[in-house]
């Protein structure tokens, strides 16, 4: 069937709420307004205000309420409008959700799912446009998901709701309108493994989330230059599926990591470090990284695009790695 990323996310919510009466959605404008990105549009009329709950503008307050509901046996899905606003709930996410199982000596799980929009490219300014999922991937006790495909947008939520621990789902804002075909029987997907989306033998391109489409485009153009690339969609940033990455690098002997986060202290730095630690003697060239420039994301369109990873920057990094110039 023809669908969009946004509709796939909505179908996942509808399916979860139909299958399990403990599941409910809460967040700013998720009800009457239909969600800031229209993901929950129509669900209030379908499931009622007890299960589609509009909250005050208090991220710390409603994330804390979601943690309490999870401790009480419910399966809350908490929507935070953008990743930048999640900083207001850092104490709840990191000091409570991620640690309560440990602090209780294994007595209390926190089965909460927190969804938020991440990423730039839509001229929303620095306070609505950053990619901070790499920060959260640093925290033990959390699972970090970054669905980039229609199948993962449809299927990751139900699997996440089965996890006894907190799961954060980062939805790149540029993907909501992406359309494509999705199997009519599409459902829950594995969230433990990265996916090899394209097979090549010259170089490994590693990415996730909103940069996946541009990496796939770069791989197609590189193929025309005789550079055939593996493309890996990481899908899960914590726990990281290093095995899939290392297996690919062992075949191609070169790697480019593409990450919309800032270069310093990023998830791309972690991946590059693991490759160097565990596959150093497989490498024929230094690991390349393509990240956002180290500036607050600009508002002006031409400056925003200049600050973000691009097809051209990915291709140039790949050419350097294979010694073809660029």
Q: How far apart are CA 155 and CA 187, in angstroms?
A: 5
Q: Is 59 a catalytic residue?
A: yes
Please compute, for residue 67, the number of CA atoms within 13 A of its CA located in the half-sphere on the CB side: 22
Q: How far apart are CA 104 and CA 106, in angstroms?
A: 5
pLDDT band for position 326 (cuts 50, 70, 90): very low
What contacts 214, CB < 8 A, 6 or more positions away?
258, 309, 310, 311, 314
- Give the tens place of pLDDT for each residue, 29-87: 999 999 999 999 999 999 999 999 999 999 999 999 999 999 999 999 999 999 999 99
Q: How far apart are CA 235 and CA 230, in angstroms?
A: 15
Long-range contacts of 55-58 (CB under 8 A, 24+ apart): 55/26, 55/27, 55/28, 55/30, 56/28, 57/28, 58/88
Model pLDDT, residue 184? 87
Q: Is 128 a catalytic residue?
A: yes
Q: Which of 28, 128, 171, 304 is catalytic?
A: 128
- Give the tens place of pLDDT for each residue, 173-199: 999 999 999 998 889 999 999 999 999
What is the chain's mean pLDDT, rounded?
A: 96
Q: How far apart are CA 110 and CA 116, in angstroms?
A: 18
Model pLDDT, residue 23? 98
Q: Which of 59, 171, 260, 304 is catalytic?
A: 59
Domains in the chain with CATH codes:
2-181 (3.40.50.970), 195-322 (3.40.50.920)
Compute the average pLDDT of residues 96-114.
Answer: 98
Query: Residue 271's closest CA among 166, 143, 132, 134?
Result: 134
């Amino acid at each position: 069937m023809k669908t969009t990323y946004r509709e796939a996310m909505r179908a996942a919510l509808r399916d979860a709420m139909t299958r399990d009466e403990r599941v409910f959605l809460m967040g700013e404008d998720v009800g009457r307004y239909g969600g800031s990105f229209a993901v929950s549009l129509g669900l209030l009329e379908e499931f009622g205000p007890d299960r589609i709950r509009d909250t005050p503008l208090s991220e710390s307050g409603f994330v804390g309420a979601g943690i309490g509901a999870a401790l009480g046996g419910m399966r809350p899905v908490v929507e935070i409008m953008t990743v930048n606003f999640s900083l207001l709930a850092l104490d709840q996410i990191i000091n409570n959700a991620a640690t309560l199982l440990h602090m209780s000596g294994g007595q209390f799980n926190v089965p909460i799912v927190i969804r938020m929009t991440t990423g730039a490219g839509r001229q929303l300014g620095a306070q609505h446009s950053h990619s901070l999922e790499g920060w959260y991937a640093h925290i033990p006790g959390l699972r970090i998901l970054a669905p980039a495909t229609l199948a993962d947008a449809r299927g990751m939520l139900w699997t996440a709701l089965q996890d006894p621990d907190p799961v954060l789902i980062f939805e790149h804002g540029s993907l909501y309108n992406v359309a494509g075909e999705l199997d009519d029987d599409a459902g829950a997907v594995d969230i433990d493994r990265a996916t090899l989306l394209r097979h090549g033998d010259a170089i490994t391109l590693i990415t996730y989330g909103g940069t996946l489409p541009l990496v796939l485009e770069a791989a197609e153009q590189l193929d025309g230059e005789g550079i055939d690339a593996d493309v890996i969609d990481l899908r899960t940033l914590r726990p990281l599926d290093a095995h899939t990455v290392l297996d690919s690098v062992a075949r191609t002997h070169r790697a480019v990591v593409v990450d919309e986060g800032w270069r310093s202290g990023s998830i791309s730095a972690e991946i590059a470090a693991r490759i160097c630690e565990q596959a150093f003697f497989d490498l024929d060239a230094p690991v390349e990284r393509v990240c956002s420039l180290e500036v607050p994301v600009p508002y002006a369109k031409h400056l925003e695009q200049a600050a973000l990873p691009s097809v051209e920057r990915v291709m140039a990094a790949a050419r350097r790695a294979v010694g073809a110039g660029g």
